[in-house]
Amino acid sequence: MHLKTLLLLFICSICLIINAFAQNTVDIASLKDSTIAKLDFKILSMVKQKDSVAIMVRVTDPGGNFVLGMAKPGHEKQYFTGLTNKAKKEICEKFTVKEASEDKSPVPLYYSIVLDYSGSMDQDYPKMQVAADHFISSFSKSFFTRVNFDDTIVIVEPRPTRRPKPASNDNFADYGRNTALYAATDAGIKSIKDAPGARFVVVFTDGKENASGGLPIYAATSYELKLSALAANVAIYAVGYGVEGYPLLSEICADTRGEYYDENNIDELVNTFGRLRANAFDHFYFIQASCSEIPTTLKIAPSGANKTPKEIALVPEPPTPPFPPEPIYLPPLLFNLSKAEVTPKAKETLEKIADRIVLLLKSDSTMRIEIHGHASPDGGEALNVSLSSDRADAVFNAIKAIIKKKYAKDVKALLAINRISAQFFGHERPIYKNTNSPKNYENRRVEIHVVH
């Protein structure tokens, strides 16, 4: 087939994908006041410029349709009525509202695509890659970086570009171990944190945040990840595959102004990415204003009439530090079925976690480390109690040996070993209670808990 024909077919296929998932719209003029009062205003991003701000807002009706017509000339402040600071004082001038889309955005949009290459993806890598490539190709003017991860991370495209390296260039042989979700997402955040526009991270994963603690330069907990995202003004969007809901990742997305999408059918992944793109980036409003300081609240009229305006927070609330602190997870593939021996693949991860434990214990003399051993629900109770005990002891002894060898001349590090202990729980605390779950292997694990 002629090259031009192939190119035309490719362009047409992308157009079909974009059109298939274009967000439905409705004009504000067709809505009753009672419906207008129920509109949902979602702040997608707030871009801080030299002496002004640009606020990206999505407005949908109760049916999820994007509401058009709220930025008609002369009517801009009929619905979006003002910007205020914490003292509720109007602080912005030259207030304008524009209807926009990804290809007509007043400020550039920057994305980091973060893809899961952990072993449980197995034969689904190609379909993940196709979905990622379709997603990227559906944008015409945005810029992308790209990060791959299993128990380590690979920053494939470190600087924002309109034409990132396609996912199909990846070498599967380089991947296939465990997962470092938090660290990889944080790497994506850091790759766009200085970009001069609206910033978003889009994550695809089928796993947990198991090995993030072994990569100390990046976030190791959901709390650290939220702090990093908010500091860089980055919203996190995510697609979870085959996890039957992912409450913690969904919470991370919500707390950073993003959204979480669940998908259990790998053949529908292109569609799911299409819905994400359509819902978040097909249509939005850009509010631009010259401000004496950074506004904290957008005021909106609930029914387009002169009624008491509603207030929408522009800045997400800072996350609450977890108490007790989140555990640092060791990889779920650390132990084989009915085995308690530390696998060779875990050696490097254990050394990194030992380094992190030393840093934590030296920074706070009241802190303790508890190593918790667990077993999967399959198998007898007595065997599982024994396995979980042996697994906890194996990790405890390995970490103690690493610290003694690596920190032989560091008295504080050596004394810190006294604040490390091992406990075991048999199969009483499974992550997945159904032994037929494809994620049952993650129940054969050791968790490291930081205790104050």
Q: What is the DSSP letter of 193?
A: T
Other CB atoms within a 10 A radius of the CB of residue 116 amount to 25
Q: If DSSP codes are grouped into helix, strand and coil, which group holds residue 99? A: strand
Tokens of 357: 């434990």
Rg (CA), the chain: 25
The model's pTM is 0.72
- At residue 169, the pLDDT reads 67
The answer to whether 116 and 206 are in contact (CB under 8 A) is yes
The answer to whether 101 and 316 are in contact (CB under 8 A) is no
N-terminal to C-terminal alpha carbon distance within the chain: 67
- At residue 123, the pLDDT reads 81
Tokens of 170: 């990846």
In the CATH hierarchy, which top-level class contains the domain 109-280? alpha beta
Helix (H) / strand (E) containing 223 = helix 222-231
The answer to whether 199 and 188 are in contact (CB under 8 A) is no
- At residue 81, the pLDDT reads 86
**β partners of residue 80:** 300
- C-alpha separations of 357 from 105, 157, 164, 371, 420 in Å: 45, 31, 37, 11, 9
CATH architecture of the domain with residue range 33-101+284-313: Sandwich (2.60)
**β partners of residue 47:** 54
Integer Cα distance of 200 and 184 in angstroms? 14
- At residue 179, the pLDDT reads 62
- All residues at 6 or more sequence positions from 71 whose CB lies less than 8 Å from its CB, including other chains: 97, 98, 99, 285
Q: What residues does each domain of the chain span?
A: 33-101+284-313, 109-280, 328-451
- At residue 14, the pLDDT reads 45
- At residue 167, the pLDDT reads 76
| CA-based nearest residue to 197, from 59, 102, 283 | 102
**CATH homologous superfamily of 328-451:** OmpA-like domain (3.30.1330.60)
The segments of the chain whose pLDDT lies below 70 read: 1-22, 76, 168-179, 207-217, 302-308, 321-337, 345-348, 437-439
